[in-house]
Structure 1
Amino acid sequence: MPTLDVHGTALHYRDEGHGPPVLLFHAFPLHSGAFDAQVKALASRYRFLLPDVRGLGQGAPPSGPTEMAHIAQDALALLDALGLDSVVVGGVSMGGYASMALLREDPSRVRGLVLVDTQAGADDEAGRARREASAEQALREGPEAVVRAMLPRLVAAGPDSEVGREVAALMRAATPEGLAAAQRGMALRPDSKDILARYAGPALVVVGEQDGITPVEKARQMAELVTGAHLEIIPGAAHLPNQEQPEAFNAVLERFLSRL
C-alpha cells in the first residue's frame, strides 16, 4: 500500500485499476479493503483511489478527533499529489460524511457524487452522547467491543455469515485510538443539507433495503436535495451493500459511472 506524506503524517491508500478516477471513502470502523469486490469487478475500466482513514486499517495514528473535514483534506492532498483535477467522489456511511465534507471543501474537484447508506444531517445531542460512550468503550476494550455492538446491525445476513466474518476482520484492524477518534469526529460533523442542495453535478444515492442505521427514508431525503439525483435500493442488504450484495451494487455503480 503506497503512502503520501501529508503535513508530516503518512496517508496510506490504494491506487487500483485503469480509467476514469473514482475516490471512495470506507465506512466506520472498516478500511479500504471493504472495496475489494468493486476493485475486482471494475478495476479494468476505472481507477480506484481508496484511502485508509487515520487509525483504521493501515491509517496513521490520529491526533485528536478524526473530523470529516480532516479526512477530506487528506484526500484532496492525495489528488494534488497524483495530479488529478476532478474525480468521482463517494463513500459508505462515515465515508459518505467524508464525501460531503470534500464537497464542502472544494466542489470543483467532484465530477460525480456517490452516497451509500449515509445521511446528510448532523447528530443530535443524544447521538453525540452515544458516540462518546462508544469512543470510551473502544478505548477501554478495543475493537471487540465495537464488533459486538455494531456487526449485527451492519449486515443483513448476520455476524456468522461469510460476509459478517469478512466485515468483522476489517473492524478488528482498527486501533482503539482510531475508533475513538472517528466516533468523536463524526459527532462534530455539521449538517450537510445545504451543501447537497447547492451541488449541481450528477449524484447517485444507494441504500440497503434492510438498513436500520440510515434507513431508506434518509436516503430518499438526500436524493431529493440534489437535483437529478438517482436513488437505488439494494435488496438483501443492510448497511454495507457494496459488501453484502456486491454484484447488485457494482451494476448500479457502473451504470452511474458509465454515464459521466
Structure 2
Amino acid sequence: MQGDIIVEEKGPICWQEAGVGAPILFLHAMAGSRTAWVPQFEYFTPHYRCIAWDMPGFGLSAALPDGAQMAEVTSSLKGFVTQTLGLTSAHFVGLSVGGMILQHFAAEEPELVRSLTIMDSSPKFGLGGDMSPEDFMQPILSDLADGTSVRAFSDTMIKAITGPSCSPQVIDAAIGAMARAQLSGLVLTTQLIGNHDAMSALGHIRAPTLVMVGADDADTPVSYAEEIAKTIKGAQLEIIPDAGHLSNLENPEAVNAVLANFLAAQAGGMCR
C-alpha cells in the first residue's frame, strides 16, 4: 500500500484515505462501512488517491435527521466531495446502496463524476418481483426497533447475502465492517433501499460507467445489473465469478482487475 491509511473527521463526515493521484471515492453498502474496501485500497493506492467515507449514520459520521431521503444523502455527498475534500471531479465506486446513491448523484452532478462504477446494485427496488417496499422495510425496521444489536443484525445479514464460496475469514471481516454502523444508519439505508427508483435518472448519466455484479448475487441479481447497463448509454457490464452481493470482498482479484482496466481506459482522468 502506498503510505498509511489516514482517518479524517471534518464536519459531519468521517473517512479514510491513502495513496496519491487521481481520486477514487468508494461508497459502501448497508452491509459495510469505510473499512469494507481493504482489498481495493491495497491494490489501487500505488496509483490513485483512494477515499472511503462512512456514510451518514455509519462509523463516526453524524446521522442525518430522522426521515431523511435520497436527496439529503446526495447533498451530503456533494458537500463532502466539493467542500470537505475540495475536489472538482473524481472516479466513484459504489456497492449496493452506495451504487444506488451514485445513480442519482451521477445524474444530478455530472461535472463531478469522472467515471462511475456501480456494483451489486439495483435500478429500482423489487424490479420484476412482487415484494412491496413495505414488505421489505417493515420487518427490518421492527427488528431494529425491538432492540436487536447492530452486531447481531450484521452477523445475520452478511451470512445471508454472501455467496456459497465465501470464506469464513471474509465473512468475519464483512461483519466487522458492518457492525460499525449506528442504528440510525441502518434505518436510513433500509428506507433508501425500499424507496429506491432511479429508472428515470439512469438515462441522464453521461459519465463512463462500469457495472459489476457477483454471479451468485441473489439480492441484486445479474438481471438488475443488465438493466442498469442497458439504460446507461455506453455502460460496460462485467459479471464477477464466485461472488455474491459483496463482490469486492468475495472475489477482489477479479473486481480489482476489471476496475483497473476500466480506470486505465479513462485517459486524462488524473483529476484532483
- TM-score, normalised on structure 2? 0.87
Secondary structure (helix, strand or coil) at the match of 1:213 reads: coil
Please give the alpha-carbon distance, in whole angstroms, between the structure 1 residues aligned to 2:142 and 2:184.
10
User: 1:169-184 residue pairs with structure 2 within 5 A?
Assistant: 169-184=176-191
Give yes or no for the alignment of 1:253 onto 2:250.
Answer: no
Map 1:12-51 to 2 at 5 A.
12-51=14-53
Deviations 1:58-117 (A, max 9, x none): 222342145333222222112212221111122000100111121233122111110000
- How far does the alpha carbon of each residue in 1:140-193 deviate from its partner, in whole angstroms, 9 at most, with x for none? 21224423542223211478711111111112222223212221233333x212
The aligned residue for residue 86 of structure 2 is 83
Residue identity in the other structure for 1:44: P
**SS of corresponding position for 2:59:** coil
Larger CA deviation: 113-122 vs 81-90: 81-90
Conserved? CA contact 1:137–1:145, under 8 Å:
no
Q: Tell me if structure 1 keeps the 8 A contact 2:15–2:51.
A: yes
Q: Which residue of 1 aligns with 2:269?
A: none
* In structure 2, distance between residues paired with 1:50 and 1:225: 27
Distance 2:189 2:68 in 1: 5
SS for the counterpart of 1:49 is strand
Residue in structure 1 matched with residue 149 of structure 2 by the alignment: 142
Distance 2:170 2:224 in 1: 24
Indicate how the Cα distance of structure 1 residues 185 and 121 shifts in structure 2: closer, same or farther if over 3 A, else same. Answer: closer
Q: 1:29 Cα shift? A: 3.0
Cα pair distance change 1:70/1:90, threshold 3 Å: farther
Distance 2:234 2:137 in 1: 33
Taking a change above 3 Å as real, the CA distance of residues 177 and 200 of structure 1, as seen in their structure-2 partners, is: closer
Match of 2:4 in 1: none
**Residue aligning to 1:127:** 133
1:240 alignment counterpart:
246
Preserved contact between residue 37 and residue 243 of structure 1 (Cα < 8 Å): yes
The equivalent of 1:197 in structure 2 is: 203
- Report the 3-state secondary structure (helix = DSSP H, G, I; strand = E; otherwise coil) of the residue aligned with 2:132: helix
Deviations 1:105-142 (A, max 9, x none): 31221111100000111457723332132022123212
Listed as ranges, the gaps of 5+ residues in structure 2 are 1-6, 267-272
Tell me the distance in 2 between the aligned counterparts of 1:154 and 1:112.
Answer: 27
Gaps of 5+ in 1: none
Aligned counterpart for 2:70 among listed residues 68, 76, 81: 68
Partner secondary structure for residue 10 of structure 2: strand
Q: CA separation in 2, counterparts of 1:217 and 1:187?
A: 18
Cα–Cα, structure 1 residues 90 and 70, in superposed 2: closer, same or farther, change >3 Å?
farther
Aligned residues: 255
On the 8 A contact 1:51/1:75 being kept in 2, the answer is no
Q: Give the Cα separation in 2 of the matches to 1:221 and 1:188.
A: 18
1:157–1:66 Cα change, 3 Å: farther
**Contact (CA 8 Å) 2:136, 2:194: kept in 1 or not?**
no
Distance 1:128 1:15 in 2: 37
For residues 250 and 102 of structure 1, the distance between their equivalents in structure 2, rounded to whole angstroms, comes to 23
CA RMSD of aligned residues (A): 1.9
Matched with 1:152 is 159
